[in-house]
């Protein structure tokens, strides 16, 4: 293809040079001058192929430039969306305590917020250690997991390992274990919920319930964004 184009251009150049040589040696009349000014494509059949090839190459170049611009704009748009998603990533996992010895929280006379003090990960800073609240940074589908554990302290003692998982003060799940048959027991739940940006997820310790934990991390609260919906 390159060789063909080169030969075409060489033919055009030779034709133009030959015309210049003829005019310089033999002179030109008004008629020959008008003919010389005409495009080579209209006077030389062999050159028409070269002209058509040049026009096709120009069309291809224009198409390539427009396509490249379109792809570049879409790439920038995709990068912007990706950066927004990265900036709103959310994942947290916390435990009740990190004590060397088993420590129990509760029971209390009133429902009480559970504050998980040991943080494994808090990507996006959605979980507030001081309050125990998780605030959804963006609207989307979230996975939430909760594990509770309690030790009655002695056989036949009342065991009450129980909590309520709430979204905006509405209970969505409540794992619990209340009996006198076990000295210790645990319960776990995993749910998937749709949260709006700003929704608050909390864990409540109901009246009469208590939790026990140490550095083995029997009581954990975790969640992460599966995908955004905005």
Q: Write out pLDDT tens, residues 15-33.
A: 544 444 444 444 444 444 4
Between CA 213 and CA 219 the distance in angstroms is 6
Model pLDDT, residue 150? 83
Q: Which residue is it, tokens 């000295």?
A: 183
CA 168/CA 16 separation, integer angstroms: 85
Q: Mean pLDDT per segment of 10 residues, for the chain of length 230 residues?
A: 50 48 45 48 61 80 87 86 72 94 85 93 93 93 92 61 90 74 77 95 90 91 90
Residues 6+ apart with CB under 8 A from 173: 146, 164, 165, 189, 191
């Amino acid at each position: 293809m390159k060789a063909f184009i080169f030969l075409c251009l060489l033919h055009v150049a030779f034709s133009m040079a030959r015309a210049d040589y003829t005019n310089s040696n033999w002179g030109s009349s008004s008629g020959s001058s008008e003919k010389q000014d005409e495009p080579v494509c209209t006077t030389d059949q062999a050159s028409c192929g070269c002209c058509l090839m040049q026009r096709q190459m120009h069309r291809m170049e224009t198409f390539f430039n427009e396509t490249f611009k379109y792809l570049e704009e879409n790439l920038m748009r995709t990068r912007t969306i990706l950066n927004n998603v990265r900036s709103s990533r959310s994942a947290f996992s916390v435990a009740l305590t990190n004590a060397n010895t088993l420590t129990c929280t509760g029971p209390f006379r009133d429902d009480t917020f559970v504050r998980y003090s040991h943080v494994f990960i808090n990507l996006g800073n959605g979980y507030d250690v001081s309050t125990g609240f998780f605030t959804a940074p963006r609207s989307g589908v979230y996975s939430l997991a909760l594990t509770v554990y309690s030790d009655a302290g002695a056989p036949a003692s009342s065991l009450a390992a129980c909590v309520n998982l709430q979204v905006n003060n509405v209970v969505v799940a409540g794992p619990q274990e209340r009996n006198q048959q076990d000295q210790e027991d645990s319960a776990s739940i995993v749910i998937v919920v749709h949260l709006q940006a700003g929704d608050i997820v909390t864990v409540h310790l109901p009246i009469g319930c208590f939790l026990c934990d140490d550095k083995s991390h029997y009581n954990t609260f975790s969640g992460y964004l599966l995908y955004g919906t905005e």
